[in-house]
């Protein structure tokens, strides 16, 4: 991506601040409502090179899932869903970023449960702030929809009335605050 696309991001590494960042999701439940949750173990960086090119990488500890239901969270961590013991991390590595009106499209490879697929996210750049004494901070919001079955999360739990307990489409909503450090 050209440097002029995000002119306020100075060259260097912008580390994801896990305290001020969130990876949330929602998925259809029982065909009539949605379950929402988040992952509390998030790390990564946005690297801006001197030539203005940008790369993004992130890791999510899948065992950090929190849907506000301990029994459900334990089941999601199991081999039925994420198999967190065997595949403890989901990862994202960008391949390109392109302007899209006032927003951006972030393309990259997402890996979950050992399966890597290309995805794209709509990303909003929220700007840069001098921060609170620990360096400049930048904010981003991104959103995408993935199909869980594309990543081997393919447990079927059919309902007697038709449909399934868990929907196939997962909406990921990512809010990132990143702190600049010169590299």
pLDDT, one tens digit per residue, over 8-64 is: 678 889 999 999 999 999 887 666 678 899 999 999 999 988 887 889 999 999 999
Largest CA distance in the chain: 58
Looking at domain 3-181, its CATH class is mainly beta
Helices (H), the chain: 70-77
**Which pair of structure tokens corresponds to residue 61?**
């500890």
pLDDT in tens, 102-159: 899 999 999 999 999 999 999 999 989 887 877 899 999 999 999 988 998 887 776 5
Give the separation between CA 28 and CA 168, rounded to whole angstroms: 8
Give pLDDT, residue 1: 37
Give the separation between CA 103 and CA 99, rounded to whole angstroms: 6
Helices (H), 91-180: none
Q: Residue written as tokens 């991001």? A: 9
Give the separation between CA 90 and CA 27, rounded to whole angstroms: 18
């Amino acid at each position: 991506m050209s440097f002029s696309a995000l002119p306020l991001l100075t060259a260097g590494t912008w580390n994801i601040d896990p305290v001020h960042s969130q990876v949330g999701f929602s998925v259809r439940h029982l065909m009539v409502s949605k379950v929402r949750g988040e992952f509390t173990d998030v790390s990564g960086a946005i690297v801006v090179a001197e030539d203005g090119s940008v790369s993004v990488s992130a890791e999510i500890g899948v065992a950090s899932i929190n849907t506000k239901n301990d029994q459900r969270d334990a089941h999601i961590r199991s081999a039925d869903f994420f198999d967190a013991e065997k595949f403890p991390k989901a990862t994202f590595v960008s391949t390109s970023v392109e302007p899209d009106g006032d927003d951006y499209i972030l393309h990259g490879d997402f890996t979950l449960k050992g399966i890597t697929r290309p995805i794209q996210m709509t990303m909003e750049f929220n700007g840069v702030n001098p921060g609170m004494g620990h360096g400049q901070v930048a904010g981003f919001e991104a959103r995408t929809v993935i199909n869980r079955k594309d990543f081997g999360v393919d447990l079927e739990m059919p309902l007697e009335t038709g449909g399934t307990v868990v929907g196939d489409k997962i909406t990921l909503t990512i809010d990132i605050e990143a702190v600049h450090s010169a590299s």
